[in-house]
Amino acid sequence: MEAILALEDGTIFHGRSFGAPGEKAGEVVFNTSLTGYQEILTDPSYKGQIVTMTYPLIGNYGVNDADSESPGPNAEGFIVRENSRIASNFRSTGKLEAYLHKFGIVGIEGIDTRMLTRRLRLKGSLKGIISTVDLDEKSLVKKAKDSPGVEGVDLVKVVTCKEPYVWNETSYAQMTNEQCQLTNVSAPRQKCKYHVVAYDYGAKFFILRHLAGAGCKVTVVPADYPADKVLELNPDGIFLSNGPADPAAVTYAIKNIKKLIGKKPIFGICLGHQLLGLALGGKTYKLKFGHHGGNQPVMDLKTKKVAITAQNHGFAVDIDSIPKGTVELTHINLNDKTVEGMRHLKLPIFSVQYHPEAGPGPHDASYLFKEFTKLMGNA
């Protein structure tokens, strides 16, 4: 079946449909990871976005029940150079194309993803639309232009949990989606020494596994859960998760974080890092094409060590906008010198822009979960 990808700037790509038929609009971004396409598709941070994989062959090891980062895919659409017709891996339980079809995700293959990636790098992330039902180019370009994009849009409310729960793999899968059959792939659990309340702005399963593996009982709460109710739980620490779209639009989260600052140790990643920056009086801004992939070099300014990190975000914190004497810059991105980490100068609070849980990606930064437990132990 023919499929068309149209961008808001008028660029048209003709390809073949794979996955579900239909039509989906979103901000088109590219991801440089070589593997981990199932984790990428199911990352709630991709809500509102159409993902382009720069690696040309996708789907060759299939999909399985254990690699999902949420109950199902969150990306609006999927773009690849070639979808593998053969899925060969001992863990595979199905093919990527059938997986996309099952969850209603529109995909397109057979286009020049190098050209698309170069256009996104030169022009910045663009709104686009994939369609198998409307093949009129002018109509699709107009639909792409008229689509909401992600700036000023709150998509956290779409992906957050509805009720608080205590994390464990089996009960979460049953509660959230009967189709999501997670197997026992948790990180090695230690005795629960700390109680952490994790705000779910679009939290990935692997983050919660790492917290549990570091010896934490994890109570997950919705993104708009009141700060006073969090404090009633008397946790040892508060975790601010990753999530999609524009942090400035998630005003309720910013208000709650302001009320929690100074009350408990706080660790934020990705969107949680950006929301913390806003709660501390700073500003965020949109990056040209964002950081999406598993090969972003980040330097720890204290040790001068460089970690290769997994990242997925389109906004960044302007650390100079945070009142002086509040935080110190701890990490920077070596590609574009953007803020990758900060620490409060007086309170037990720190955050990073990248994903230390790395699902998928390198494990260079997984030590940060232990740093969080040390912070709670010393508080």
Render each residue's pLDDT in the chain as its tens digit; 379 residues.
999 999 999 999 999 999 999 999 999 999 999 999 999 999 999 999 999 999 999 999 999 988 999 999 999 999 999 999 999 999 999 999 999 999 999 999 999 999 999 999 999 999 999 999 999 999 999 999 999 999 999 999 999 999 999 998 654 443 333 322 333 333 344 468 999 999 999 999 999 999 999 999 999 999 999 999 999 999 999 999 999 999 999 999 999 999 999 999 999 999 999 999 999 999 999 999 999 999 999 999 999 999 999 999 999 999 999 999 999 999 999 999 999 999 999 999 999 999 999 889 999 999 999 999 999 999 8
Is 192 part of the annotated catalytic residue set?
A: no
Three-state SS for 62? coil
Angle CA 359–360–362, to nearest 5: 100
Where do the structural domains in the chain lie, given as residue ranges?
Answer: 2-146, 156-378
Cis peptide before 73 (omega within 30 of 0): no
Is 270 part of the annotated catalytic residue set?
A: yes
Q: Which of 76, 161, 216, 270 is catalytic?
A: 270
Round to whole Å and give the CA distance between 132 and 140: 11
Going by the annotation, the residues of the binding site for L-glutamine are: 45, 243, 271, 274, 312, 314-315
Cis peptide before 360 (omega within 30 of 0): yes
Is 39 part of the annotated catalytic residue set?
A: no
Round to whole Å and give the CA distance between 213 and 211: 5
pLDDT of residue 180: 29
| Other CB atoms within 10 Å distance of the CB of residue 308 | 16
Going by the annotation, the residues of the binding site are: 45, 243, 271, 274, 312, 314-315
Round to whole Å and give the CA distance between 25 and 140: 9
pLDDT of residue 309: 96
Question: What is the topology classification, in CATH, of domain 156-378?
Answer: Rossmann fold (3.40.50)
Round to whole Å and give the CA distance between 379 and 377: 6
Round to whole Å and give the CA distance between 213 and 39: 19
DSSP state of 1: -
The yes or no reply on domain 2-146 and CATH 3.30.365.10 is no
Structure tokens at 231: 């404090």
Three-state SS for 368? helix
Report the candidate in 244, 237, 246 with the shortest Cα–Cα distance to residue 350: 237
